[in-house]
């Protein structure tokens, strides 16, 4: 089994890896389980997704949601400073608070009913994001 445990890598290489490996191994990614969850719990809702530039530019979440045909509206925002900020240890402090808030006030992800943390780094700042949304 091969797990592509990164949203950016999943958006860029999942299909290629799956084709390359063929029947020799099962290839899974971190995006498909989120899509299935959204389809089950957020039909006809408005969802936000934040992620790296690569993940958001790929439009992978929108493409996969469209295939579900569950009338889920998606609002996406690239948040390129968050992953390097987390990697450098700047989370759960005033610096990270300011950066997170500067992204989350963006008009493109307002009036959402849920927010997908589209980067495997982002759970480290989940509490700060939750605090923003109360």
Q: Which residues carry out catalysis?
A: 6, 119
Which ranges constitute the DSSP H helices of the chain? 7-21, 32-41, 53-58, 60-68, 82-87, 94-104, 126-133
> Is the distance from CB of 72 to CB of 39 less than 8 angstroms?
yes
Q: What is the distance between the alpha carbons of residues 124 and 25, in angstroms, rounded to a whole number?
A: 31
């Amino acid at each position: 089994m091969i797990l592509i445990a990164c949203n950016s890598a999943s958006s860029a290489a999942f299909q290629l890896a799956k084709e390359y490996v063929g029947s020799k191994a099962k290839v899974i990614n971190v995006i498909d389980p989120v899509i299935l969850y959204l389809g089950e719990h957020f039909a006809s809702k408005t969802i936000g997704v934040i992620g790296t530039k690569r993940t958001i530019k790929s439009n992978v979440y929108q493409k996969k949601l469209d295939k579900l045909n569950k009338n889920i509206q998606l609002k996406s925002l690239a948040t390129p400073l968050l992953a390097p900020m987390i990697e450098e240890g700047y989370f759960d402090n005033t610096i990270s608070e300011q950066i997170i808030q500067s992204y989350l006030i963006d008009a493109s992800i307002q009036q959402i009913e849920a927010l997908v943390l589209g980067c495997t780094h982002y759970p480290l700042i989940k509490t700060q994001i939750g605090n923003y949304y109360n």
